[in-house]
C-alpha cells in the first residue's frame, strides 16, 4: 500500500509504502491507518476475488474506492512487484489518470451473487439428472424415452420402488400418475 501526500510549495510529494495482510483484522487496521493519514481516495487493481474484502471494508468507511482494470494501468515492462504496483497506482490516481471500473451498489451485488448462485445450482441439478438418466440407461431402463421428466412424481415413485428392490416392470409402470398413466404399456 502506498500513501501519497502531495507537497505544498517547495515541499516535495511524499510517498510512504507499507505492507498489510489480507485477514479481516489487518484490513481493519489498514482502514484505520488510512483514516489517520486522511486519505480520501483509494485506487486498487480489480484482479480476482481477493480484492472484495478490501473493497467492501474500505467502501463502508467512506473512502472513494476506485477499482481499475490491471490492463489499463500496466507499468513499464520488467520487474513487477506489489510495491512498485502500489506506487504506480498512487501516482496515476493522484494525477487523475485512472478511470474506475463500474461496481454496482451493495444490494445489486447481493442480487447478482444470488442469481449467479441460483444459476450454478440449477446447472448442477441438470448435471445430476443427466447422471441419473445415464445410470438408468446403463442398467437397461429407458425411463426418459417415455417420461419427459424422470424426476417428476411418477418417475420418483418408480425410482423409489427400484431402490426398494421392486423389479416387476408392470408393477413399476402402474405407479404412473396423471398423463403418464396413458403410457403404461410403453413404460412396462
If asked whether residues 146 and 79 sit together in one domain, one would say: no
Residue with cell string 477499482: 67
Give the position of cell 489480507: 22
Q: Which range among 48-52, 83-87, 156-160 has the greatest average pLDDT?
A: 156-160
Same domain, 28 and 76: yes
Total domains, the chain: 2
Rounded alpha-carbon distances, angstroms, from residue 23 to 39, 51, 54: 21, 12, 10
**Are 71 and 134 members of one domain?**
no
pLDDT of residue 33: 92
Residue 120 maps to a domain:
no
pLDDT of residue 80: 67
Same domain, 156 and 86: no
Domain with 92, as residue range(s), is 2-103
Residues near 149 by beta carbon (within 8 Å), at least 6 away in sequence: 155
User: Can you read off the three cell numbers belonging to residue 131?
Assistant: 447422471
Classify residue 111: in a domain, yes or no: no
Q: What is the pLDDT, as a whole number, of residue 188? A: 85
Q: Is the pLDDT of residue 13 over 70?
A: yes
Q: Are residues 74 and 147 in the same domain?
A: no
**Could you tell me if 98 and 134 lie in one domain?**
no
pLDDT tier for residue 76 given thresholds of 50, 70 and 90:
low
pLDDT in tens, 112-168: 999 999 999 999 999 999 999 999 898 888 888 888 888 988 989 999 999 999 888
Residue pair 173/143 in contact (Cβ under 8 Å)? The answer is no
Contacts of residue 184, defined as CB under 8 A and 6 or more positions apart, other chains included, come to 173, 174, 176
Task: Kindly give, in sequence order, each residue whose CB lies less than 8 Å from that of residue 18, ignoring residues fewer than 6 positions away.
Answer: 1, 3, 33
Q: Is the pLDDT of residue 74 over 60?
A: yes
Residue 119 maps to a domain: no
Amino acid at each position: 500500500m502506498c500513501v501519497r501526500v502531495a507537497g505544498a510549495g517547495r515541499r516535495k510529494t511524499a510517498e510512504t509504502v507499507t505492507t498489510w495482510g489480507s485477514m479481516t483484522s489487518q484490513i481493519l487496521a489498514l482502514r484505520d491507518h488510512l483514516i489517520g493519514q486522511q486519505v480520501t481516495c483509494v485506487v486498487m487493481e480489480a484482479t480476482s476475488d481477493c480484492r472484495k474484502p478490501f473493497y467492501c471494508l474500505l467502501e463502508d468507511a467512506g473512502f472513494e474506492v476506485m477499482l481499475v482494470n490491471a490492463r489499463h494501468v500496466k507499468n513499464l515492462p520488467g520487474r513487477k512487484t506489489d510495491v512498485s504496483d502500489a506506487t504506480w497506482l498512487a501516482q496515476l490516481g493522484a494525477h487523475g489518470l485512472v478511470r474506475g471500473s463500474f461496481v454496482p451498489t451493495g444490494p445489486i451485488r447481493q442480487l447478482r451473487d444470488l442469481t449467479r448462485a441460483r444459476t450454478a445450482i440449477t446447472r448442477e441439478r441438470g448435471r445430476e439428472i443427466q447422471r441419473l438418466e445415464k445410470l438408468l440407461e446403463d442398467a437397461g431402463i429407458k425411463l426418459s424415452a417415455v417420461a419427459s421428466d424422470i424426476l417428476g412424481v411418477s418417475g420418483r415413485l418408480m425410482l423409489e420402488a427400484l431402490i426398494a428392490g421392486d423389479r416387476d416392470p408392470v408393477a413399476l409402470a402402474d405407479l404412473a400418475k396423471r398423463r403418464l398413466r396413458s403410457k403404461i404399456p410403453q413404460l412396462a
